[in-house]
Amino acid sequence: MIPHLRIPRVLIVAGSDSGGGAGIQADIRTVTMLGGHPMTAITAVTAQNTLGVQAVHPVPTGMVLAQVDSVLCDLGADAVKIGMIGSADTANALAERLDGTGLPIVFDPVMVATSGSVLANAETVAAFGRLMRLATVVTPNLPELEALGGEGTVRAGTAALLVKGGHADGDTITDRLVEADGTETRWSDPRIDTAHSHGTGCTLASGIAAGLAEGLSLTAAVARARLFVRAALAAAPGIGGGHGPMGHALGKAPFDVMAPA
């Protein structure tokens, strides 16, 4: 009988990207590559490719919660990653459902896709407050941080804030993690010059969730997730006519690498 191995379980609440570059698809690949078991609650279905988002269909709130309940009542979870949210009602209902679970929660406040397409209306963004108060860490990029009211507003409602610096000018990208006690950690790396960066935010947040599910400290989880993002950017396959997907498999066929001769 094959022994069962303890595997970190990550519940991912996010939208589906038909082009496979971001959203649920990127989340699943990231958690899998980092040794976890991904489970999903899909909040929206998008018609999307490397050129943009052509259509968005929000999943009804009741169905989102049904997916969450189905996962938690049987498989359980060690961490939760929240990305795109289909509506304000879903944001509020999700916060109410997760409150009291004690699970580490990584909230990536997705508003706009890499292509520039809007993925959250003003009402949905306004409802992000409850999730920010519940989250272990919030991971906005610079435009998202501004839309949320700035660092003071976000930190007033969350234990930690990871400010992603990819939208800043310059050849160096600096990300800042500010924890609840004010401790700040910075990471700076040379910018990777590529158009194929679709899904970086999703990948980073899911990587952090996988680390927290495994029991890593927040700082260690962020550090490892950042390294994975950079490796995946460097291994991007270069497909599509616009902002293409990253190379989550790092240019390898993992089964072929590990399969016995």
Residue 150, pLDDT score: 87
Q: Is 224 exposed, middle or buried (0-12, 13-18, 19+ CB in 10 A)?
A: middle
Q: Tell me the three-class secondary structure of 134-172, residue by residue.
A: HCCEECCEHHHHHHCCCHHHHHCCCCCEEEECCCCCCCE
Residue pointed to by tokens 């989250």 = 135
Residue 117 in domain: yes
Residue 34 and residue 51: Cα distance in Å, rounded? 28
Domain interval for residue 148: 9-154+192-249
Which parts of the chain sit beneath pLDDT 70? 1-3, 112-120, 261
* Residue among 101, 110, 84 at smallest CA distance from 24: 84
pLDDT digits (tens, 9 = 90+) for 174-221: 999 999 888 999 999 999 999 999 999 999 999 999 999 999 999 999
Contact status, residue 162 vs residue 156, Cβ threshold 8 Å:
no
Residue 44 and residue 18: Cα distance in Å, rounded? 11
In angstroms, the Cα distances linking 248 to 20, 32, 37, 244 are 11, 10, 16, 12
Residue 222 in domain: yes
Residue 2, pLDDT score: 65
Contact status, residue 105 vs residue 98, Cβ threshold 8 Å:
yes
pLDDT digits (tens, 9 = 90+) for 26-49: 999 999 999 999 999 999 999 999
CATH code for position 38: 3.40.1190.20
Residue 118 and residue 214: Cα distance in Å, rounded? 33
Residue 152 and residue 142: Cα distance in Å, rounded? 14
Residue 1 in domain: no
| Total number of residues shown for the chain | 261
Residue 118, pLDDT score: 59
Residue 123, pLDDT score: 82
Residue 250 and residue 183: Cα distance in Å, rounded? 33
